[in-house]
Structure 1
């Protein structure tokens, strides 16, 4: 029954059926003006809510990163007159799932509940968002867990590479800091820091909400006010400057005694609202986004056996954009691998895709899109992200048509714009052979972007 109900929701979103998906999404406005996007579907007695406050870890103090992340682990550790144990017990008794997390650009939350328990669930969520206790014991317990994770990350090649890449691409900027913080900064975070972050960032005007499941608009509208209505109308967000990835054409080598080298690479990408973003999605699939058909997979793994996996992806942010990727290979073949990857960037930039590559990319990207919506929780999460990306309510209905409209000339244009001369910022963790910590002579990212300004 549950599976059949979820399939009903999924099918309503499948553009290939010609369904008017946008008609299934209702814009609900609460009496105080809080907006939510709702997909009302009562086949399954479940309600999923996903929400976010714009801001995220980019709002952390530069001298004390990790506040948003630590706070996300504490909101369900006691609220109102319920201490940590009592709050967790109440969640268990009502079968309610509540979770929080922090990204660079948003502070996220989610709720999942049986529809018959919705009033209990909404009250527990209200308490967590507006009346979290932030008691000393949970703070120290979650702090200890975070510090243990940081110590583990300090010896993990992938985490080392990610930290180094962010710091190199975005120096002296919030995007260059670790969302989780550092051992020093996490140890220094006080309760006052957590309270201040909540006060500055949790507000109604920067709140994005999406709801899917067995609830109608008439019930949801007042519930939004009960949950979020006590929050201030406006946040106190600090401005975050626009920045474009720096140190393109540079190698950053971190020596670590491991048998293979973990490599991250990248250069400037696009913000989500850029008119070239959809063609860039198609281009990236051809370059490194398609698991078995991409150029990187074919050249690096299939033909030469340099790595088990190699990939690229677009990372649009509120104030920047990346086209990045990764590979892990034997130390002695690290230089060969990155030279080959850069060659594929240059080749696609210079020659563009073939008609066959374009056709295969479109087929995969349109055919697989509905898999993003194969559960109520995924649909709620997807709608939230569409709103965070400033996209229209009918985006799901139109997305596959936008992909189908991309031409070879579109991909050629975007490839020249984004891939340029193929130069990359490269971070290698291990004992790589074939390149060192030196410049490879790439163009400045600002110049590359300026040639194709929005």
Structure 2
């Protein structure tokens, strides 16, 4: 019977994947979301305090949900790095329902039986659960009740936790053999020496995670008021409100009643209510030996938070010109095309709740490390001091605007953008005005953000493989 359900599930997925490109192409007419079209985002709060952001889309008979929880790794207590990720990874490994335990296998069967696709991830800022399902009333009702139990009554089985910790340990050891991962790990540490953004999971921190710590973290951070729901799909408002009401109709502390008295008495000073501000350490260069054939060079510094939208749009343009556009960017021209020092060189930035980093990355032959680093530094210095010329500015704005429609050409992409608006508190018309905001960026705007945020005394450099 189980095999038959699996075959049925994968057949439905195959049909959906076959037809999806047709639906997507047909959806890109003027009546649908696109350049100059409004997303018409609706927002409200559930009775339990969760935030909801909804875009009604009838492109497909599907509903996409992104649940973002303010429970990312920045809340990991010192010495327990990796805890947030383990908590999120344990949620679909077993929970309580009607006096019995629903096992990991039964959870998997529920998703297969109802043709539901789900994934879980953890970043520095948040934990995220992504779910895609058919807009069938029966499926919606079942899923609402099911998720309420998952989010309110997880079991956190001791043996499964031990298995997850072993898997995380093996993944950590493997990652530490790769030069790029070594470089990024150390770059974050250098950029954020006194902030949780800079901490990374270690073998010791994984070993320190106990079932009680998992339960404590869950109780403190996986609460309805810390949850943000982003939804894109074909569903009526009233039905959606009922669905979300079912999911969030709980208080997480009720999940562990037999531990409650002990945990309420316990004062755990490891858990912070307010995170420290991002400081700007003085520039350093860290060199790490590695047997790789090439040197992996990374340069970076904290710069912008996600909510600083007045400066983000000029920054988009500046990054596009410097190294964010690939061929045609200044870094590619100077490092690859003129000197042949690297196959790939790029720039980018990560926008976070607090000041996220700007970075430059490249690989080069070990014998070229010093020369390549000098060329990158000179290119960056010239760009910061003098800004772009008019041709670069217009090409950058044209390129960014030309690619904007691709950000919204599927429900999944709309969901990812909606999730950014919802979780980071961006204006509801952020995407509606995106093209106009890029088009209005001037040369002086770019110069202003370059001179404001690029402080060379704070730029960190990590070289692995030298």
- TM-score of the alignment, normalized to the shorter chain, above 0.5: yes
Alpha-carbon distance in 2 for matches of 1:7, 1:223: 30
By how many angstroms is 1:50 displaced? 0.5
Higher mean Cα deviation, 125-134 or 59-68? 125-134
Alpha-carbon distance in 2 for matches of 1:239, 1:362: 38
Alpha-carbon distance in 2 for matches of 1:260, 1:43: 47
| Mapped contact 1:10–1:374 kept (Cα < 8 A) | yes
Higher mean Cα deviation, 412-421 or 275-284? 412-421
1:312 is aligned to 347
By how many angstroms is 1:28 displaced? 4.3
1:159 is aligned to 181
Higher mean Cα deviation, 391-400 or 34-43? 34-43
| Mapped contact 1:30–1:222 kept (Cα < 8 A) | no
By how many angstroms is 1:7 displaced? 4.7
| Mapped contact 1:349–1:412 kept (Cα < 8 A) | yes
5 Å matches for 1:29-428?
A: 29-80=45-96, 81-116=101-136, 117-178=139-200, 181-231=201-251, 238-248=273-283, 250-274=284-308, 275-421=310-456, 424-428=459-463
By how many angstroms is 1:42 displaced? 3.0
Q: 1:120 to 1:308 in 2, by over 3 A?
A: farther
Alpha-carbon distance in 2 for matches of 1:84, 1:279: 47
- Secondary structure of the 1:266 match is strand
| Mapped contact 2:47–2:245 kept (Cα < 8 A) | yes
Matched pairs, number: 422
By how many angstroms is 1:132 displaced? 1.7
Q: 1:31 to 1:267 in 2, by over 3 A?
A: closer
| Mapped contact 2:144–2:247 kept (Cα < 8 A) | yes
By how many angstroms is 1:149 displaced? 0.3
Q: 1:122 to 1:95 in 2, by over 3 A?
A: same
| Mapped contact 1:280–1:411 kept (Cα < 8 A) | yes
- Secondary structure of the 1:287 match is helix
By how many angstroms is 1:405 displaced? 0.5
Alpha-carbon distance in 2 for matches of 1:301, 1:166: 26
| Mapped contact 1:255–1:429 kept (Cα < 8 A) | yes
| Mapped contact 1:6–1:374 kept (Cα < 8 A) | yes
1:448 is aligned to none
Q: 1:333 to 1:109 in 2, by over 3 A?
A: same
2:20 is aligned to 2
Per the normalisation by structure 2, the TM-score is 0.86
By how many angstroms is 1:422 displaced? 8.2
Residue-by-residue CA offset, 1:137-171 (whole Å, 9 max, x unaligned): 32122111111101101211011111111111111
Alpha-carbon distance in 1 for matches of 2:111, 2:241: 23
Give the superposed CA RMSD.
2.0
Higher mean Cα deviation, 130-139 or 294-303? 130-139
Alpha-carbon distance in 1 for matches of 2:48, 2:25: 34
